[in-house]
């Protein structure tokens, strides 16, 4: 039994280090992108169009991951695209978390009419297909990062609300809550001081997962040209362009897909790892 726990902790530590390490590297890249990018991500050179990566025949020095159909450096565009992806992830994820978790805590702890109103509103809101709803919102309010962030918050707050509500209801039935009530502590104080600390691990896991989802939504919107300007270095825009030239320049599609996959996976695994390590119930 002790050996099994030791191996579990080792696997958990490896998962946290790998996912957290990738996210730290990506954040550093996003912050330093203007200085570490080998080329200008918007600079076009038709004479250098569809150059292969450095290890393939026909590659040219300086274009480490090749170029796209307009001669733009793929590596520089991926680095610059990380800034847009992480900006959307952190802002949209945090706003979604604050709104959804607050409503979920109120519904799950106070119950009664507050729970009925919030739950019915969540049921109605979740009846809309999220991706189509996001596309419709962006089409109505206009393109741009602000519109994308608003669309993500509008469609995704329900996920936080439902999960946090269920967790708050479970914690509200625990003995420590009854003890706090007997001691004369007010309900709002019980919710903040007693229940919230035990719900935070779940909220953290949801927050990191939501950041990955926000990146996916931004990628989808930029894929269909509903993000920022079409020539901007976004991962979704690069994937859309690479799809049309997969047989002539596969690297334009594959490299952004790899970075997107690793980023979303790292957000998910990092959140789950933090929850497993710091959740007081699991400990």
Report yes or no: 93 and 211 within 8 Å, Cβ to Cβ: yes
Q: Which CATH number fits domain 2-278: 1.10.3720.10, 1.10.630.10, 1.25.40.10, 3.90.550.10?
A: 1.10.3720.10
Per-domain residue ranges of the chain: 2-278
Contact present, 40 and 5 (Cβ < 8 Å): no
Q: In this predicted structure, what is the pLDDT of residue 94? A: 93
In eight-state DSSP terms, residue 117 is H
Q: What is the pLDDT of residue 278?
A: 62
Of 109, 199, 211, 205, the C-alpha closest to 156 is: 211
Q: DSSP letter at 73?
A: B
C-alpha distances out from residue 92 to 66, 208, 255, Å: 32, 11, 25
Query: What's the pLDDT at 239?
Result: 92
Virtual CA dihedral for 128, 132, 135, 140, nearest 10 degrees?
-50
Residue with tokens 């992806």: 85
CB distance 68 to 46 below 8 Å: no
Phi, psi (rounded to 5 degrees) for 50: 55, 40
The Cα 186–Cα 195 span in angstroms is 13
Q: Which two tokens stand for residue 74?
A: 């793929």
- For 39, half-sphere exposure in the C-beta direction (CA atoms, 13 angstrom radius) is 22
Alpha helices in the chain (DSSP H): 2-36, 74-110, 112-125, 130-141, 145-172, 175-182, 187-190, 196-223, 235-244, 251-278
Given this model, what pLDDT does residue 255 score?
Answer: 95
Q: How far apart are CA 134 and CA 236, in angstroms?
A: 15
- pLDDT at position 1, please? 55
Q: What's the confidence (pLDDT) of residue 12? A: 66
Residues facing residue 67 across a β-bridge = 73
Per-residue pLDDT of the chain (283 residues; tens, 9 = 90+): 566 566 666 666 788 889 999 999 999 999 999 899 999 998 898 888 899 999 998 888 889 999 998 899 999 999 999 999 999 999 999 999 999 999 999 998 888 888 899 989 888 888 877 777 777 888 788 778 888 888 888 888 888 899 999 988 888 888 888 888 888 788 888 888 888 888 888 898 889 989 999 999 889 888 888 777 667 789 998 999 898 888 889 999 999 999 999 999 999 888 888 777 665 555 5
**Local structure of 203: helix, strand or coil:** helix
Q: What is the pLDDT of residue 279?
A: 57
């Amino acid at each position: 039994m002790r050996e099994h726990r030791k191996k579990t902790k080792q696997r958990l530590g490896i998962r946290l280090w790998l996912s957290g390490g990738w996210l730290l590297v990506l954040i550093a890249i996003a912050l330093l992108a203007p200085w570490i990018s080998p080329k200008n991500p918007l600079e076009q050179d038709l004479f250098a169009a569809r150059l292969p990566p450095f290890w393939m025949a026909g590659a040219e020095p300086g274009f480490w991951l090749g170029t796209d159909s307009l001669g733009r450096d793929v590596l520089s565009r991926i680095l610059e695209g990380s800034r847009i992806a992480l900006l959307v992830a952190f802002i949209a994820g945090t706003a979604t978390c604050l709104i959804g978790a607050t409503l979920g805590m109120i519904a799950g702890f106070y119950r009664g009419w507050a729970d009925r109103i919030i739950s019915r509103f969540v049921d109605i809101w979740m009846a809309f297909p999220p991706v189509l709803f996001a596309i419709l919102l962006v089409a109505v309010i206009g393109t741009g990062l602000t519109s994308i962030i608003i669309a993500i918050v509008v469609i995704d707050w329900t996920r936080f609300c439902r999960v946090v509500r269920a967790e708050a209801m479970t914690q509200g039935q625990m003995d420590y809550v009854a003890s706090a009530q007997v001691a004369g502590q007010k309900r709002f104080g019980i919710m903040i001081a007693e229940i919230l600390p035990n719900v935070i691990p779940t909220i953290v896991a949801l927050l990191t997962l939501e950041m990955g989802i926000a990146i996916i939504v931004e990628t989808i919107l930029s894929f269909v040209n509903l993000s920022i300007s079409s020539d901007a270095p976004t991962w979704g825009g690069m994937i859309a362009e690479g799809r049309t030239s997969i047989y002539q320049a596969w690297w334009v599609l594959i490299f952004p897909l790899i970075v997107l996959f690793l980023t979303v996976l790292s957000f998910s695994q990092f959140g789950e790892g933090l929850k497993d390590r710091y959740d007081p119930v699991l400990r």
